[in-house]
Chain A
Amino acid sequence: MIELPLFIDLGDAAVHTLNGIFRGSILFMIASGLTIIFGVLGVLNLAHGEFYGIGAFLLTSIATFFVVRIAAPTDPLSTAIFAAAIVIAVLLSAAILIPIAGAIEATVIRPIYDRAEMYQLLLTYALLLILVDTIRIIWGSQPVRPAAVDGQQIHAALDVIPMEELFGFQYSSVRIFTIFIGIGTFLFLLWFFDRTKTGRIIRATAIDREAATAIGVSSDRVFTLVFALGGFFAGFSGALYSVSAIPATAEMGGTALVLSFVVIVIGGLGSIRGSFVGAILVGVVWSWAIAEYPPAEIAAPFALMILVLLVRPEGLYGAWGEIE
């Protein structure tokens, strides 16, 4: 076969890009929560990555519960039932984080809104340590994946899109779904903050807490709601990651947190659009960095962040702390 080194294999390019977008979608769902929480509550929640980790671990337990009870997918019907079970598992994992995050906000974070930034950081760092160890106590310190279905991982059992036939390259269907869910989350959040009453109340509170209180908004409830919402999406993202058979570890929250910082700084603090663009950008740059120059893997996102800040100090969609 004749090699044409001048041209990049289109299939490869597509897969590298898809890998990046997949990672970006996951990152977006974590970073959007972080950025909204920061925008409304004014607190940079260092424990946010742990919600993502807890979501991933919850999925391994809930999905395993389903997998051992439901018939393995063989025909369209059993595949549909199996897929429905996994969707329920993902939603359930994320939903469990609503009361967890809500309770954390209402008990330990609420008393520190008026304190200096550094105490908020110290407190959420303490929460991070506590949550990491709680994960270890519940799920152990070794990597965990959901139980296999006939030796296959869940996502392999759900490989229903014939990518090879349609596009000429192999790619996991669950990853494609995850990308769509990421985009869907983005659109939902835009709609939510722009069109719904609750969303507008939250934005009003973010802009002027006192004025909002004056017109009868309970800022306590708004704050808890926002925190729980952030926890939900982080958990959702962790659960989706786990479905793709990526082993859940107690440490996964730390990495996700640091990358989420990068994302929201690139996008502009408080900006949902910004964190979406930032997340996809970080994901794709990361993926292409590995493909083209592997040693840049760790440094690429940080270099990108510094670059963006030098050109646009307020981030791509700089909103300076207001939800947009």
Chain B
Amino acid sequence: MDKPDTQTEEGRADSNGIGNIGRRGMLKAAGGTALAIALAGCSDVLLGDDEEVVDVADVPDEPVEAGLQTFTEGPASVLGLQAQFGAEEAVRRINDAGGVAGREIELDVVEEGDSWIENYSRFVDDGKEVTFGPISSGGHLDLVGEVEAQGVVNIATDGTVTRMFEEELDDPTYAFRFQNHDVMEAASAALTAIEQLGADEIDTYANINPDYAFGQDEREIFNATIEQLTDAEEVYSGFPELATDDMSTHVTSVVSEEPDVLFTSCWGGDATLLLSQGQDQGMMDATDIIVGPVLYGSANDFSSGDIEGNIWSGSRNFYWDFPDSDRWSPGRELFDAAQEAEDTIPTAHYMSGYGAVTCWATAVEGLVDMLGGWPEQEQIAAALEGHGFYTPAGYHVMAEDHQCYSNAHFGRLTWNDEMDIPVIEEMTIRDPREVSPPPGEISVEWIESWS
């Protein structure tokens, strides 16, 4: 980082707010910039042969101020509130266990709206040490440049568009994403359809995806995968407006084409609407299988009549009842916690918030142990790269491309009469390496290289 001249240094402090002056001052005192470069480059600095390393800031007494921007209202609040509940549960558990290196976390939540940049800047100005969210992929794209410029670590909860860390971002430092990216669930959907019907039995398939970047991304990858592995052709592709109030025309079109497979990445109210209008018009009979990566995200809204038929759903990186709760309880405990605190079935989006917070907290805890003091943003960012940690969802790795990799869940969506909630059975878990290219490769090209 170049040393700016005095005038511009003033400008930076002014435009970033007073909270930042302190941070930068602390940074200089700790010789942080040099350290960060060293840290990012080679880890042997951590062993302590550099004098400056010893000179780290003490662990402050006050709590860690953290900010989460998420959709608390609007159609996407179906996802956003889950992320908020998950993040709050993680904070509760961390604080009950004594905090991060003794520091409790205080989480501020704000509606992301369409003010991603403003929210983040405000968080930074308010002295937040870490920021989480947003849910929106478009919002994340708005935000990453800001995060890289302002230098306070951000871990996006969702916004899973594949392109983001493959093409849009050139070697980011502070911007991360926790949830599995789309390729993992869209490819899993195609693999599930092939497993269930057999590659030779699939001649036609159709798509209904929400009309925005996420829906297009999911379709592109699903199509690439299924066309790579079968001779199927696409007979219909509809893009209903996001949060539409009527899908019947798309359903009619699919029913009339009678495809073998229907792929849909509709979520929230759109998923409920699609399935319920699908039931009205016999869409479940007209297709052999329906595969939807995020259908289970609407678990709290379904009634049993909505999900009759051969419907398979993904659950991103987390399903509360896998492994079976008779054998392994952490998932079930999270389910109970969510039921108790919010009267909700935790979905993969619950984990979006839970995991993002846990990812940061575990990395920092480890860093404090090693450094013997509180780390700087550069150090935390460097430590997050390659950071592996456990949550009730299993093992996660934040890879060097800043995309976190976790297992991909996919199974049959059915109704559990005993609990009177929708559940996923016959769950198949895929290792990230099965459904996502190694960091640095482009997903679609990777899929097209399969034989």
Do A and B have CB atoms closer than 8 angstroms in the complex?
A: yes
A contacts, CB < 8 Å to B: 9, 11-12, 15-16, 19-20, 22-23, 136, 141-143, 145, 147-148, 150-153, 155-156, 159, 170-172, 241, 245-247, 249-252, 255, 287, 290-291, 294-295, 297-298
Contact A291 B249 (CB under 8 A): yes
In whole angstroms, what is the CA distance A12 to B255 when docked?
9
Within 8 A of A (CB), among B263-289: 268-269, 272-273, 276-277, 279-282
Contact B272 A294 (CB under 8 A): no
Residue pairs across A and B with Cβ atoms less than 8 A apart, 26 shown, are: A12-B252, A12-B253, A16-B249, A19-B246, A22-B246, A23-B246, A141-B73, A142-B81, A142-B300, A143-B78, A145-B301, A145-B303, A151-B415, A152-B305, A153-B279, A156-B279, A156-B280, A171-B280, A245-B273, A245-B277, A246-B246, A251-B75, A291-B249, A294-B239, A294-B250, A297-B211
Q: Is A249 touching B243 in the complex (CB atoms < 8 A)?
A: yes
- Establish whether residues A151 and B281, one from each chain, have CB atoms under 8 Å apart when the complex forms: no
Select B239's contact among A20, A156, A295, beta carbons within 8 Å: A295
Question: Of B81, B246, B272, B279, which is in contact with the most chain A CB atoms at under 10 Å from its CB?
Answer: B246
Shortest Cβ distance from residue B278 to the other chain A in the assembled complex, whole angstroms = 11
Given the interface pairs A141-B74, A151-B304, A297-B239, the reply to whether A241 lies near B245 with Cβ below 8 Å is yes
Which B residues are in CB contact (< 8 Å) with A136?
A: 73
Residues from 72 to 93 in B contacting A, C-beta threshold 8 Å = 72-75, 77-78, 81
Q: Which residue from chain B places its CB closest to the CB of A143 in the assembled complex?
A: B269
The distance from the CB of A244 to the nearest CB of chain B, in whole angstroms, is: 8
Beyond A141-B73, A290-B238, is A249–B269 a contact (Cβ under 8 Å)? yes
Residues of B within 8 Å of A290, CB to CB, are: 238, 240, 249-250, 253
Contacts beyond the supplied A171-B281, A290-B240: 11 A-B pairs with Cβ under 8 Å: A23-B246, A151-B415, A155-B280, A247-B269, A247-B273, A249-B243, A249-B269, A251-B74, A290-B253, A295-B239, A297-B239
Cβ 8 A contact of B280, one of A172, A247, A294: A172
Q: Which B positions have Cβ atoms within 8 angstroms of A?
A: 72-75, 77-78, 81, 211, 237-241, 243, 245-246, 248-250, 252-253, 255-256, 268-269, 272-273, 276-277, 279-282, 300-301, 303-306, 415
Least Cβ–Cβ distance between B81 and chain A, in angstroms? 7
Decide: A142 and B237 in contact? CB cutoff 8 A: no
Cβ of B303 and Cβ of A151 under 8 Å apart?
A: yes
Instruction: Tell me the minimal C-beta distance from A19 to chain B in angstroms.
Output: 5
- Which of A9, A11, A20, A152 has the most C-beta atoms of chain B within 10 angstroms of its own C-beta? A152
Q: Given the complex of chains A and B, what is the CA–CA distance between A9 and B72 in angstroms?
A: 44
Of the candidates A19, A147, A297, the one whose C-beta lies within 8 Å of that of B248 is A19
Q: Complex formed: what's the CA distance from A318 to B250 in Å? A: 34
Cα separation A172 to B282 with both chains bound (whole Å)? 11
Contact B301 A19, beta carbon cutoff 8 Å:
no
Structural contact, A153 and B252, CB atoms closer than 8 A? no
Residues of A within 8 A of B74 (CB): 141, 249-251
A150: chain B residues within 8 A (beta carbon): 304-305
CB distance from A293 to the nearest CB of B (A): 11
Cβ-defined partner of B249 (8 Å) among A155, A245, A287: A287
Question: Which residues on the B side are within 8 Å of A241 (C-beta)?
Answer: 245
